[in-house]
Chain A
């Protein structure tokens, strides 16, 4: 086609049948990338990883060093023991970043499309509400999971590489840690993302959605803790979403906890919250697309 040819042409290339949710997710990330705050936060979120990487390298290299003095010095510092608690510590450090990313991306995910009348345009294309929903969810969850689960797995691998002498022993003792890291990261990110998307679906702006989400989380946390103190029942702390996450982390990483509630209740609580939030989002989308 000559470069000066600017008339309307027919386009006969084959179309993809599925995978539209990937396009939605990629667009969500593209929109998020336009925010300077998001880009700065992306850089800042590397800090916990770099800090843990530094500790891991120091520990591994010092442990490998024949100097007994240095080795015993390193062993004195409790958190430089590379065990399950080290990875739990990393995820705890990365969780606030994951929450802020969910807030930044998810806060505007639905309401901006509504406010700018984009849903009508999108659903006039062969896009289903399920594809749209999963695309948005994937877009919101992608970076938070990259900040929590992916670096934790990377640290695990790096530890095996930098301490070849004890790698087998380490894997035998902590083979469940990668799974626990992924499970805790998913438990932190997915319900949070859905909750913030639901807040976005019922509000008109990103700021408003973020304020609603923060306020509800704060009230929920306060409610759970106050109720537990008043009634002196520790298990009631699990009514608080944030406390439930901590408890789930304790269970997954084998830490001691004062809560005796069965883990099934916590998982069921997260599932109910996720389904409720997904229902709110889908209901909002359904108002636009009702076709078969």
Chain B
């Protein structure tokens, strides 16, 4: 079986000038972006258009303008869906059936013969952490179990591309980390490309290599996580054992811009190597012990708020 557009470094998702309207409301406004292999994150506040973008790529929404290509083919083509897994944001359950029946049925819909689907279902349910509870009816499942069943149905037909819409919705902290670890494993160990949509910054920061920030249907920022959170070369963070106030006053007297952080550290403007030496000399003069000295990076949270406030 050959999978279009995978493994040759080609773009997995290509969107250009994509506009989607619901009546008079514009959900996506001339969106242009490209995703390659690995885990990519769609980040944005509620109503930013993340789910609409995923649904358009699946063919559930018809674009008003622009084009979208998935694995090198026009998005929405039914033949393409055998290579795509989708875990929707909304709660999905088949109350009177067990997870085994539900996931096996989804396998059959993807074109697997029933026996194969059943065998694969057990493998996938093992993988997402289901035990004997797989035989209970789904109406008795907790939110975490329902989320894992949703992930299992998206994986049952062994997709090459996985769309995950808010996969950690309603999960407790332990369940959240477990889900994110699973997602990371699927992408890194098994070579499945993942497009994860979330409004939770820590989730995206935890698993994604590349991020697209959406707000009000527009792309406001995009790039690799490493590039977006690049070093701010001229600022350093200093943490002292004690005497932070004294140190800050001494630097201010020397004409340095100093910011006291909530966690007790100081952020100091320091453009050159000589400036940095000066910081250590001041600490030595005051008899203070430097516990931490590191360049400041942009945080995703800052980038997000900056981009969203800039857009509004």
Binding site for B on A (CB under 8 A): 6-17, 20, 23-24, 26-27, 30-31, 34-35, 116-118, 120-128, 288-292
Asked whether A8 lies within 8 Å of B127 as measured between CB atoms, the reply is yes
Cα(A127)–Cα(B157), bound, Å: 13
Interface stretch (choices B24-32, B78-86, B254-262): B78-86
Complex: how many Å from CA A5 to CA B209? 28
Q: Ordered nearest first, which 10 A-B pairs have the shortest CB separation?
A: A291-B59, A15-B111, A124-B86, A291-B76, A23-B108, A11-B158, A125-B109, A34-B96, A6-B126, A126-B81
B81 and A117 contacting across the interface, CB-CB below 8 Å: no
CB of B60 within 8 A of CB of A13, answer no
In the assembled complex, B106 has its CB within 8 A of some CB on chain A? yes
* Interface pairs (23), CB distance under 8 Å: A6-B123, A6-B127, A7-B127, A7-B189, A8-B185, A8-B186, A11-B120, A11-B157, A13-B112, A15-B1, A15-B111, A17-B111, A20-B109, A116-B93, A117-B88, A118-B92, A122-B109, A124-B86, A125-B157, A126-B81, A126-B82, A126-B109, A292-B77
How many Å lie between the Cα of A124 and that of B113 in the bound state?
18
Q: Is the CB of B111 within 8 A of A126?
A: yes
Does the CB pair B123–A9 fall under 8 Å? yes
Q: Given the known A-B contacts A23-B105, A290-B61, A290-B62, are A117 and B78 also in contact in the complex, defined by CB atoms under 8 Å?
A: no
Contact pick for B59, options A7, A12, A16, A290, CB 8 Å? A290
Residues of B in contact with A (beta carbons under 8 Å apart): 1, 58-62, 74, 76-79, 81-82, 84-86, 88, 90-97, 101, 105-106, 108-114, 116, 120, 123-124, 126-127, 137, 150, 153-155, 157-158, 163, 185-186, 189-190
Question: Pick the contact of A118 from B94, B112, B137, B190 — CB < 8 Å?
Answer: B94
Residue B58 contacts which of A27, A34, A291 (CB distance < 8 angstroms)? A291
Contact pick for A20, options B96, B108, B186, CB 8 Å? B108
Q: How far, in angstroms, from A26 to B117 measured CA to CA in the complex? A: 14
Given contacts A121-B153, A126-B111, whether A291 and B77 have CB atoms under 8 Å apart is yes
Instruction: Please give me the residue from chain B that is nearest to A17 by CB atom.
Output: B111
Q: How far is it, in angstroms, between the C-alpha of A30 and the C-alpha of B104 when the chains are bound?
A: 12
Please determine whether A124 and B84 come into contact, CB atoms closer than 8 angstroms. yes
Q: Known interface pairs A121-B106, A122-B109, A290-B60. Does A14 touch B1 (Cβ–Cβ under 8 Å)?
A: yes
Residue on A nearest B91 in the bound complex, by CB: A117
Inter-chain contact B92/A117, CB cutoff 8 Å: yes
- Chain A residues with CB under 8 Å of B186's CB are 8
Chain A residues with CB under 8 A of B124? 8
For the complex formed, measure the closest distance between the CB of B111 and the CB atoms of chain A, giving whole angstroms. Answer: 3
A35 contacts across to B, CB distance below 8 A = 96
The answer to whether B112 and A15 touch across the interface, beta carbons within 8 angstroms, is: yes
Report whether B78 and A30 are in contact in the complex, using a CB–CB cutoff of 8 Å.
Answer: no
Task: Evaluate contact between A289 and B126: CB separation under 8 angstroms.
Answer: no
Could you list 18 further interchain pairs (A-B, Cβ under 8 angstroms) beyond the known A14-B1, A290-B62, A291-B59? Answer: A6-B127, A7-B127, A8-B124, A8-B127, A13-B116, A23-B114, A30-B101, A34-B137, A35-B96, A120-B90, A121-B92, A121-B106, A123-B60, A124-B81, A125-B82, A127-B109, A128-B78, A291-B78
Q: How far is the CB of A172 from chain B (nearest CB, A)?
A: 45
- Collect the chain A residues with CB atoms within 8 Å of residue B90's CB: 117, 120
CB distance from B110 to the nearest CB of A (A): 5
Give the residue of B86, B97, B120 whose beta carbon is less than 8 angstroms from that of A31. B97
Cβ-closest chain A residue relative to B75: A291
Residues of B close to A116: CB separation below 8 A: 91-95
